[in-house]
Structure 1
């Protein structure tokens, strides 16, 4: 801390870049930390501002330079950007050039036919303008289309992303939850426009492996192969499978958990068979000297996936939780036997609730 008269100014840790690895995003010149912080669940008005502030400070002190938002994050929708904008002004203004700030649009945001769940030019341009106003920024580093929209021509959506970069509202653009065929089609359009897509944000975990599965509409390529062909990086969200890959559910469903609250985790997924598999994974993690959450994050970032997975996107409800998650980068190596054992224990559990639309209406 620095003190000027009665005012105390927070100062980031001097050693913040000494332990976090940074990876280049696809064929671009941008690097992201191996771990990124998502502001999905814990930065709305139902969380104390002091907790949000402490969590963001701790993340940056640990070398986490990428903060990921969306227009609808809250609750209520928009409040995460407002709260983040306040903390950015009060704590991080002098570190702005050291941060990568991203936001997204694609889900319902305001009433009426133009308020979301789409990819129209009107919605995306109105949305980025609102997000910038809420955060007090003149641009974000990355702007994503949050989900594919089969009812809007892909050319319109990509044209809007191109315009957002060319108008100075974002430095880069990306997509989220697009299938392999849609990703290749979208990148083809963007290359012709002269603003290639930088990155893809898919869900990915030991229990959610849709990005590894062949896409018949992309000549059998899976999403990882499509990203390599497209020269794009990836930021894998929900590496903990909405909390399933933690010690939280080893003994059942706690009263105040996401599953109990129906908050993006269906309790039906926590079958006794799945819980038995998670308990065995927990034993593996102990043998590696990690928590289950740390091993799950490390698995997404394993060297065998490097070049395809740039960064893992995690949430955190406290400074202690982001500290625990960051310890995952201390051991990202897996033996062939460990990887085989994980594959034997768990496979895709069909929990991709953000499933991508097909390209049938676009190509």
Structure 2
């Protein structure tokens, strides 16, 4: 069956300008970190990509190593794009990254010019694209000179393989240094992708100030703290949950009774706002206009609908913000 996008898809989605650039991103973007790999069901991934676009989510975020296996999320996305959505390519923002381990030998990891350019070439082949809209360096490399990594990003834009470049997981100081180099080269840094949630607030200690000063936007990953800020854990740790399994990102050891008590207290505030806990958590990271977009993951279509519904209530009263701070403290 031929896919035809929902005509009303742009009516309710909110779009925010990325730093001082001319680009806008949807307030909610879809990440393909999990559930879109070769070990997952193609039709479920296709349905989620279609639904996201129908809701006005124009930004799809990938990386070279997303899967599993590594590379397969890009292959899945490329397949869906080519078969169903090629007509909408110019209405989409597609990003990918390189910086973590991807292939064996000395050239398949970190931040050398060799690795970044080779990796992007591989990503473009997997997605059957001529260019991506945003290409990120996924993490800082302690051994490669920052000048080399940034020069590679500049070259990638000038070669037409990416329209913009960004950083991920860089500290405030590293971001300021990288931004200065990129500005001098003539390819400004568009965006930074850090982790950020109610339980992970490191970007408030300097990074957000640097982004404001440099005119760089931000798209935050794990805004739901790996699923902790959802109704999944209100009654403890389910055996079939991420924390109940072998996940290295969220496990039962990291979920204390104290943290679960905070989750339940936050849920009470969310209910008083007419929102689910996940919806309030997304609204909270977007509060104040310092975050451009919240990057969500999903394993089924209904989760995307639920997360996008958060945008109907982004405002917080002073009392609500104080109550949340008292719980988090």
| Band the TM-score falls in, shorter-chain normalisation | over 0.9
Contiguous gaps of at least 5 residues in structure 1: 1-7, 214-221, 348-363
- 1:332 paired with 2:314, answer yes
CA contact (8 A) 2:245 2:251 kept: no
Match among 232, 236, 242 for residue 226 of structure 2: 242
Contiguous gaps of at least 5 residues in structure 2: none
Match among 22, 26, 32 for residue 25 of structure 2: 32
- 1:212 paired with 2:204, answer yes
Pairing 1:14-93 to 2, within 5 Å after superposition: 14-93=7-86
- 1:270 paired with 2:263, answer no
CA contact (8 A) 2:62 2:73 kept: yes
Could you tell me which residue of structure 1 aligns to residue 273 of structure 2?
A: 288
Hey, what's the Cα distance between the residues in 1 that align with 2:121 and 2:152?
13
- 1:297 paired with 2:290, answer no
Deviates more, 1:139-148 or 1:263-272: 263-272
SS state at 2:189 partner: coil
Hey, what's the Cα distance between the residues in 1 that align with 2:241 and 2:101?
25
Hey, what's the Cα distance between the residues in 2 that align with 1:85 and 1:256?
30
SS state at 1:88 partner: helix
- Per-residue CA distance 1:260-288 (angstroms, 9 max, x = gap): 22322132221000000000001111110
Hey, what's the Cα distance between the residues in 2 that align with 1:93 and 1:310?
26
- Per-residue CA distance 1:196-228 (angstroms, 9 max, x = gap): 000000000000000012xxxxxxxx1000001
Deviation at 1:257, TM superposition (A): 1.4
- Per-residue CA distance 1:32-69 (angstroms, 9 max, x = gap): 00000000011012221110011011100100000000
Pairing 1:341-352 to 2, within 5 Å after superposition: 341-347=323-329
Deviation at 1:290, TM superposition (A): 0.4
Hey, what's the Cα distance between the residues in 1 that align with 2:262 and 2:112?
42
Hey, what's the Cα distance between the residues in 2 that align with 1:151 and 1:250?
43
Could you tell me which residue of structure 1 aligns to residue 239 of structure 2?
A: 255
Could you tell me which residue of structure 2 aligns to residue 178 of structure 1?
A: 170
Match among 153, 156, 161 for residue 161 of structure 1: 153
Hey, what's the Cα distance between the residues in 1 that align with 2:18 and 2:251?
32
Match among 299, 302, 307 for residue 320 of structure 1: 302
What is the TM-score of this pair, normalised by structure 1? 0.89
